[in-house]
Amino acid sequence: MLLGENTPRISIKNEAEKRGRKKERSTAFFVKEEAQLFEFVLQKMGGMSRTAVKGLLTHQNITVNGNVVTQFDYALKKGDSVSVCFSKKENGLRHPKIKILYEDDYLIVVHKAEGLLSVATEKEEPTTAFRIIMNHMKKQNPKNRVYVVHRLDRETSGVLVFAKTKEVQEALQTYWHHDVLEKIYYAVVDGIMEEDKGTITSWLTESPKSKIVYASPTDNGGEKAILHYETIKRNNKYSLVKINLVTGKKNQIRVQLQSIGHPISGDKKYGSEHSPLGRIALHAAKLTLRHPATGQRISFESPIPENMKMNF
């Protein structure tokens, strides 16, 4: 059988029951015509403030056809069922370096702050995003597990996804390049970007000794890498760039921006001579993918840090 764009990658039967999720009081509405989720709920919940509706979405209290949705602009279709739950959900995690953005029976998506490893290295550092989430899950149930799906560099902040089962991890990793629909990053780079918009296409190779990745503008047998960029802001020393990552190769953004003469600020490994943030100024702002169990398009966002808005 061929897997279509919305084909679930794993079985979804009885997962909620197996994890003992309690039923909560909710109100359901049926969609009679196309609308955006936020405006639909605001209209149906007469008298509720815009802030309160935003809170329901942020705290995962709204489902569409049984699936949690947090996107304000999620497109509703005729016949969809929207449920609003009034029991406040507390995830119980309090940590200065990790904030849970989304959680269901299959995934746990977090904002990772800069300065925190995604997973342990050979040095076996005790505090990592993986360890923080694992400890959080085990407090809920000693049998709970967490599985790494992808990673962010220590100094890169932003959206990071973990799986709750080995099956989900394998499904996400197997179909990652197909099912990840959008990856948006922001970077502060050295110098004044000449172009407002552009595309960088390179072939990347890694030195086995130095572990440095090199970019070639022509096909040299390396891995083909593509990104689109848009210059958001400039001053006399730096530029803020929005990046739409088409491929996802090791150190891709860092080496490709260096290749056009604008290394990411703070990235000494790839040629930066300045560090206004005291770290590599790179942030994973948005990740859109197909849910491995439902096939539904879901997006997760982490706002750009204030110190990357170039108020310096």
Residues with catalytic annotation? 153
Tokens matching residue 229: 């960029």
CA distance 288 to 271: 31
278, 284 Cβ separation under 8 angstroms: no
Q: What's 27's DSSP letter?
A: E
CA distance 93 to 116: 16
Tokens matching residue 54: 């935003």
Q: Strand pairing of 282-290 and 157-163?
A: parallel
181, 290 Cβ separation under 8 angstroms: yes
CA distance 304 to 143: 35
